[in-house]
């Protein structure tokens, strides 16, 4: 399979930015007035094409919050690529670290959003697009970045190598070490291996519940035992807000900020991660005050996100 790098544009040349490594897909959202009956035709109230994928959503929110960022994702050279690249450009998200693949299909998610109860039924498809590899990473990332965030996906061994590569690089630096974070969201037990390698670990409620954990506080205590010295664990837990803990410091926690009307919760977790990183990446200090400020802002922005469709109202 042939793969190639995109051509650099002036917008791509930002150093000191946040890079999000992970997925980019096309999300086709169908808003329906009641869940469809099997084997019948239905009209929807509204259909939209949206750019999706956790890392891609993280970049959207970072960019809307004014943080220079780049997406590092694979792209299929299929007809949806024009829509995806135009949308990334519209949000000023750097794409010079994206890797295009010939003869692959774009991953597509079809969403059925029931207006009656807000339920979200999603069907994913990714027939053959590979993930970002360690080789892609070492070929393209020049280590001028301030922060590199990884979306934990199926390519756990490759992400382990990328994080290890950054840790080795950081050992050679007195100042300006690259800060790393990883999101452990999917129900894949292998992802726990990544906890020992990053500076910030974002654990989802879904992943914690798979291990029988019942609260955000228990989640941060439990996962902290897998981390390296000085790392922090952060966990958002839907309507109960978020908690975080670093080393032997006390747990910090905050509640959520409900909007007047909950309109769209899709991407709330991605928004929380991005907004928290926007605070953490703008502070040198690793005090508990900063950790609390980060998760509190994460919950504020995620709550605001739930009050509107998509992300644009966060601007
Ligand atoms: P995910 O989208 O990954 O399922 P969560 O449901 O844990 O993520 O939500 C992430 C954050 O979004 C929460 O910590 C909370 O601050 C905010 N959030 C989620 N749902 C709501 C809601 N109904 N009202 C207000 N804030 C919410």
pLDDT one-digit tens code per residue, 111-165: 998 888 878 899 999 999 999 999 999 999 999 999 999 999 889 999 999 999 9
Locate all alpha helices (DSSP H) within 141-241, ordered by sequence.
156-171, 205-210, 216-224
State the distance from the centre of ligand 1 to the C-alpha of 236, rounded, in angstroms. Answer: 7
Atom in ligand 1 nearest the alpha carbon of residue 206: 4
Residue 6 has pLDDT above 70, yes or no: no
Q: What's the confidence (pLDDT) of residue 1?
A: 36
Atom in ligand 1 nearest the alpha carbon of residue 258: 25
Measuring from atom 8 of ligand 1, which residue has the nearest CA? 269
Task: Quote the pTM value.
Answer: 0.93
State the distance from the centre of ligand 1 to the C-alpha of 269, rounded, in angstroms. Answer: 6
Q: pLDDT grade, residue 14 (50/70/90)?
A: low
Query: If you search the block for the tokens 């500076």, which residue do you land on?
Result: 199
What tokens were used for 193?
């291996």
Measuring from atom 22 of ligand 1, which residue has the nearest CA? 239
* 290 vs 16: CA distance, rounded Å: 20
* CB of 238 shorter than 6 A to ligand 1: yes
* 135 vs 131: CA distance, rounded Å: 11
Residue 247 has pLDDT above 60, yes or no: yes
What does the mean pLDDT of the chain come to?
A: 93
With vertex at residue 221, the alpha carbon angle to CA 159 and CA 251, rounded to the nearest 5 degrees, is: 110
Q: Tell me the average pLDDT across 276-288.
A: 93
**Lowest mean pLDDT segment, chosen from 4-8, 93-97, 104-108, 172-176:** 4-8
309 vs 136, residue with greater confidence = 136
Q: What's the confidence (pLDDT) of residue 78?
A: 95
Q: What's the confidence (pLDDT) of residue 2?
A: 42
State the distance from the centre of ligand 1 to the C-alpha of 58, rounded, in angstroms. Answer: 14
Atom in ligand 1 nearest the alpha carbon of residue 242: 14
Q: Tell me the average pLDDT across 52-67.
A: 97
Cβ-based neighbour number of residue 28 at 10 Å: 15
Q: Report CA-CA distances (Å) from 70 to 61, 153, 218, 272.
A: 12, 18, 33, 18
* 115 vs 111: CA distance, rounded Å: 12
Residue 252 has pLDDT above 80, yes or no: yes
195 vs 247, residue with greater confidence = 195
With vertex at residue 214, the alpha carbon angle to CA 212 and CA 218, rounded to the nearest 5 degrees, is: 100
């Amino acid at each position: 399979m042939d793969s190639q790098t995109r051509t650099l544009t002036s917008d791509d040349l930002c150093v000191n930015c946040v890079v999000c490594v992970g997925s980019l897909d096309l999300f086709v959202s169908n808003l329906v007035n009641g869940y469809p009956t099997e084997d019948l035709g239905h009209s929807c109230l509204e259909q939209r094409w949206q750019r999706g994928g956790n890392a891609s959503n993280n970049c959207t929110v970072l960019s809307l919050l004014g943080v220079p960022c780049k997406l590092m994702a694979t792209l299929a050279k299929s007809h949806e690529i024009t829509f995806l690249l135009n949308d990334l450009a519209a949000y000023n998200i750097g794409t010079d670290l994206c890797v295009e693949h010939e003869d692959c299909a774009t991953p597509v998610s079809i969403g059925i959003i029931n207006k009656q109860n807000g339920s979200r039924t999603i069907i994913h498809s990714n027939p053959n697009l590979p993930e970002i590899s360690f080789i892609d990473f070492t070929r393209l990332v020049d280590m001028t970045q301030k922060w590199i965030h990884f979306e934990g996906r199926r390519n756990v061994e490759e992400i382990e190598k990328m994080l290890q590569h950054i840790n080795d690089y950081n050992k050679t630096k007195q100042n300006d070490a690259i800060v790393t974070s990883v999101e452990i969201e999917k129900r894949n037990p292998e992802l726990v291996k990544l906890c020992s390698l990053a500076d910030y670990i974002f654990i989802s409620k879904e992943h914690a519940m798979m291990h029988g954990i019942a609260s955000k506080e228990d989640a941060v205590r439990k996962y902290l035992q897998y981390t390296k010295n000085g790392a922090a664990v952060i966990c958002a837990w839907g309507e109960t807000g978020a908690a975080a803990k670093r080393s032997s410091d006390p747990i910090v926690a905050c509640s959520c900020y409900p909007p007047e009307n909950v309109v769209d919760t899709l991407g709330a977790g991605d928004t929380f991660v991005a907004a928290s990183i926007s605070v953490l990446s703008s502070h040198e200090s690793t005090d508990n005050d900063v950790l609390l400020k980060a998760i509190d802002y994460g919950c504020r922005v995620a709550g605001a996100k739930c009050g509107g469709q998509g992300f644009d109202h966060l601007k």
